[in-house]
Amino acid sequence: MINKKRILLIEPPFYRLYNPNYSNTKYPLSLGYLSEAIRKDTDWQVYVYNADFSPTSEDMKARYLSGEGFDRYLANLKDLTASIWQEIRSVILEYIPEVLGISAKSQNFIAACNVAKIAKQINRETLVIVGGPHPSLVGFEVLKCADIDVGVMGEGEVTIVELLQAIESHKPFTGIKGIFHRQDNKPLENAPRELLNDLDSLNFPHRSAAEVLIDHKLYPASAFQSIFATRGCPFNCRYCGSRYIWGRRVRFRSPLNVVAEIESLRKLGLKSIHFDDDTFGINQKYLNELCQALKKYSHGLKWSCEIHVKLVNDHNIGLMKEAGCYCISLGIESGSNEILNIERKGITIEEAIRACNIIKRYGIELATFFMVGFLNETKETLVATEKAMRTIKNASINYSIFTPYPGTEIFRLCKEKGLVSNTFDPSLYNHQSPQNCFCMIPPEKFREMASRIERFVDRRNYWNRIKRNLSLETIAKIRELGLVESIKKGLKRIAGR
């Protein structure tokens, strides 16, 4: 039997740098799609390793990510003798890949560089390829990391196959679209790759997870519940980097293809799934067809999604409810219409509140996204956002601090205003970083206001998690006895707030 060449795909650590028990307990879809393309169209042996997964995961807190945990994050990032890097080293040593593929976002790019360095320390001949959002945004700047050999821009399913075929046949990379690499020690960017038109041609990303995912047996079934129905987002929010990766033209999988993937997941024991689409239900005809297919072929399935405020109306929400939708995440971002307008969100806070009320009227759980510290943020607009966060009753709040991603329009604007230096280090700035302050509010005042909001978010989310685990009868009894406020105070103390 001929030994196959090996490629190891890695999701670098991020949350585990804050706390070893924090976890991205999710099978990375991007690596799942890549591994399936490799298995389908090459003879390479592929393995997937999520270095940000911990089987003893615990709930993450916004306050911890932006506060005391940040020092631990920085220390772990700089210390390659830390346990997380030793774990990664042992995995690379065990599988000895000829090619290492790393998926990098801006916030974990330095961690990706660490992984690349470890791989090169083990074997200088290992070819290191980095793909994902960050290289798509900044291009061949990632080659400033000497341990990275090739960068991939945009969708990588076809690109990775062509790269492996070129390696196997000892051909140069010059004709492969969508990459940047070195030639004669100089960075070279090849022609861009066209976006995939036929998404149905892709294998389901979880299809071979049991064979390719390292420590597969330690993952809960819920780690495989995310799927894409579409790629791309037509909106043009100023702070978002999605359009640089997927494009603004939305591409759709056929409803039957989506349902086929869902049914294969249900055979694994899953009773609910989450649509990871940037904006679910963007096309009315497609939404109708997909919901009808879900009702017909996936009866009893519960699912969640993220949707734009403008798409929330009685027809759409009623249709989604009938098809099994139990939770909707709504990107509100700011309580200030001034900020919403500047950021090209295309909504008002009044429209957002109406959308929240419609969702709740249909008995669907509501989760909201809020972001603080926009470029034009003032103390007054931040107060308006805090008020909106406290006013809207929801199941959970997804809290972020505005972060300018290198390579985006908003990054250039921040640089023009002197808020971003030429030595910008993406590892210092992420959506919970206490060092983030790219707005008009003085840093000390902004941190004071943001810390207050973070404590509120943790408290609200903590209380809602407790309520979800209580029976209706227990909740009614607590209210009857007038114990709600006492319990809330006790929970605050338990949560360290």
476-487 per-position pLDDT tens digit: 666 767 766 776
The candidate with the shortest Cα–Cα distance to 252, out of 225, 233, 273, 226, is 233
Tokens 């991007």 belong to residue: 30
Question: Same domain for 362 and 309?
Answer: yes
Question: What pLDDT was estimated at residue 361?
Answer: 96
Tell me if 212 is assigned to some domain. no
Question: What pLDDT was estimated at residue 2?
Answer: 54
User: Under DSSP, is residue 352 helix (H, G, I), strand (E, B) or coil?
Assistant: helix
Question: What pLDDT was estimated at residue 241?
Answer: 80
Q: How confident is the model at residue 470 (pLDDT cuts 50, 70, 90)?
A: low
Q: How confident is the model at residue 490 (pLDDT cuts 50, 70, 90)?
A: low
Q: Which of 380, 398, 416 is the last residue of a domain?
A: 398
CATH number at residue 391: 3.20.20.70
- Do 337 and 315 form a contact (C-beta atoms < 8 A)? no
Tell me if 211 is assigned to some domain. no
Tell me if 359 is assigned to some domain. yes
Mean predicted lDDT score pLDDT of the chain: 91
Q: What is the rounded average pLDDT of the residues 121-128?
A: 97
CATH number at residue 17: 3.40.50.280
User: How far is 408 from 5, CA to CA, in rounded Å?
Assistant: 37
SS3 per residue for 201-252: HCCCCCCCHHHHECCHHHCCHHHHCEECCEECCCCCCCCCCHHHHCCCCCEE
Q: What is the rounded average pLDDT of the residues 298-322?
A: 96
pLDDT exceeds cutoff 50 at 1:
no
**Portion of the chain with pLDDT greater than 70, in percent:** 93
Tell me if 471 is assigned to some domain. no
Question: Same domain for 70 and 182?
Answer: yes
- Domain ranges, residue 96: 6-189
Question: What pLDDT was estimated at residue 61?
Answer: 65
pLDDT exceeds cutoff 50 at 497:
no
Q: How confident is the model at residue 109 (pLDDT cuts 50, 70, 90)?
A: very high
Query: What torsion do the CA atoms of 78, 83, 89, 94 make, to the nearest 10 degrees?
Result: -170
Q: How confident is the model at residue 6 (pLDDT cuts 50, 70, 90)?
A: very high
Question: What pLDDT was estimated at residue 472?
Answer: 56
**The total number of structural domains that make up the chain:** 2
pLDDT exceeds cutoff 70 at 164:
yes
pTM: 0.91
Question: Same domain for 283 and 337?
Answer: yes
Question: What pLDDT was estimated at residue 496?
Answer: 45
Relative to beta strand 302-307, strand 272-275 is parallel
Q: How confident is the model at residue 495 (pLDDT cuts 50, 70, 90)?
A: very low
- Do 399 and 457 form a contact (C-beta atoms < 8 A)? yes
Q: What is the rounded average pLDDT of the residues 425-447?
A: 92
Question: Same domain for 360 and 302?
Answer: yes
Question: Same domain for 250 and 159?
Answer: no
What is the DSSP secondary structure assignment for residue 141, as one 8-state letter? G
pLDDT exceeds cutoff 80 at 288:
yes
203-261 per-position pLDDT tens digit: 999 999 999 999 999 999 999 999 999 999 888 899 888 877 777 889 999 999 999 99
Question: Same domain for 132 and 240?
Answer: no
Tell me if 427 is assigned to some domain. no
Question: What pLDDT was estimated at residue 471?
Answer: 55
Question: What pLDDT was estimated at residue 487?
Answer: 64
Q: How confident is the model at residue 171 (pLDDT cuts 50, 70, 90)?
A: very high
Question: Same domain for 21 and 130?
Answer: yes
Q: What is the rounded average pLDDT of the residues 478-497?
A: 62
Q: How many CB atoms lie within 10 A of CB 151?
A: 27
Question: Same domain for 170 and 298?
Answer: no
**Portion of the chain with pLDDT greater than 90, in percent:** 76
26-54 per-position pLDDT tens digit: 999 999 999 999 999 999 999 999 999 99
Question: Same domain for 29 and 112?
Answer: yes
pLDDT exceeds cutoff 80 at 423:
yes
Q: What is the rounded average pLDDT of the residues 409-429?
A: 91
Q: Which of 372, 398, 424 is the last residue of a domain?
A: 398
Question: Same domain for 269 and 328?
Answer: yes
- Do 332 and 371 form a contact (C-beta atoms < 8 A)? no
Q: Which of 165, 189, 213 is the last residue of a domain?
A: 189
Question: What pLDDT was estimated at residue 47?
Answer: 98
pLDDT exceeds cutoff 50 at 494:
no
pLDDT exceeds cutoff 60 at 311:
yes
Question: What pLDDT was estimated at residue 248?
Answer: 84
Question: Same domain for 129 and 54?
Answer: yes
In the numeric block, which tokens belong to residue 13?
């650590």
Question: Same domain for 131 and 240?
Answer: no
